[in-house]
Amino acid sequence: MNPALNDVTLDFATLDEIREAAVASLAPEVTDFLEGGAGDETTLRRNRAAFAKWALRPRVMNGLVAPSTTTTFMGLELGLPVLTAPFGVDNLFDAEGHLAVARANERAGTLSIVPEAGSFSFEAVRAASPAAAKIAQFHPLASDDNFLRILSRVEAADYEAICITCDCPTAGWRQRNLRNRYVPPLSAASGNYPPTPDSEINDVFGQLFELDAPVWSWEKLGRLLSGTSLPWMAKGILTPEDGVAAVKAGASALLVSNHGGRQLDGVISSLEALPAIRAAVGPSVEIALDSGVRTGSDIVKALALGADVVVLGRLAAYGLAAGGEAGVARVLELLKQELHSVLTLLGRGSIADLDESAVMPIEAP
């Protein structure tokens, strides 16, 4: 924890205030980059609408106080069922990017998923907060050799788990960025691929999205990861078929995700996909969920429908833009406070008590 942190972020009373401060601090094209989705943004909107289709079912007069929010995920301890997402180009939002996110997670007892396409290297983020920077994210996109080089770096940096993003064989069709003629600056994405003096942003991403990259499959991914002792999570799962295939390939966890509506427009929300995936892979496979989570009630609904933890992308980025490390810490603090309130009023003594009996489907208002 940085003792010089300005606690002015404690003035943020709600998560909405943090978003408003973040937007006020960013250039319009960067706000569009952060908040936009793919295509006509139908999936982006659907992610939020899906949570309104479930009502909570409180049980009262049970004398519960101070519910527990502690859990484990992929063998890692959490004080809150929350991870922060591996969003890239993080120094667009604050100069310290994921260094600050990891330190905020450490303060909150939560964990970072550290991105491959971020502003800082895996090694730098791990060094900034060994207690929170424990999961490294990368892509099965380039050559086998490049994939294995990244895997070796992650192992050498003492990461304890891996997140493999499986839903990005190419970038989504993001019309806000196209309309704005906006391309992120090179420095925002080159933490793990230092550029040469004459590099362009496409040179950095070209090391991920190789034009002549080989075809990837679950079999190939499983084979390349079979030599590591680190548990791995498959990110971008939206169907039961892919959930089963990922587990068969060796994944110990799944991240049910549509990339925050930023990849393929027109797909269902992550929350809508969750129950069928949980049913297909059974109770022993751990599941995280992202896309659309904005409140403590959203966390409760996701866990009741089969997730073990949720992953925060835009909320973490808002906190970063609003107040750096302290802003992200305040996001996590407010979520924890709301989660305590919701669990108490719901009559559940811990997040472990959440199941489908805590929710019921309704028509969205």
CA 104 – CA 8 distance, rounded (Å): 15
Question: Do residues 266 and 42 make contact, with C-beta atoms less than 8 angstroms apart?
Answer: yes
Cβ burial of 138 (10 Å; 0-12, 13-18, 19+) is: buried
C-alpha dihedral sign at 202, 207, 212, 215? negative
Please tell me what DSSP assigns to residue 68: B
C-alpha dihedral sign at 271, 273, 279, 285? negative
**Using alpha carbons only, how large is the chain's radius of gyration in Å?**
19
CA 189 – CA 139 distance, rounded (Å): 14
Single-letter residue type at 18:
I
Residues in the chain: 365
> Binding site membership for FMN: which residues?
86-88, 137, 165, 235, 257, 290-294, 313-314
> Binding site membership for glyoxylate: which residues?
174, 259, 262
Coil vs helix vs strand at 154: helix
> Binding site membership: which residues?
86-88, 137, 165, 174, 235, 257, 259, 262, 290-294, 313-314
Q: How many CB atoms lie within 10 A of CB 185?
A: 12
259 is known as an active-site residue: yes
Please tell me what DSSP assigns to residue 265: T
CA 346 – CA 301 distance, rounded (Å): 11
Q: Which of 98, 139, 259, 340 is catalytic?
A: 259
Q: Which of 317, 270, 320 is nearest to 290 (CA)?
A: 270
Residues annotated catalytic, as ranges: 259
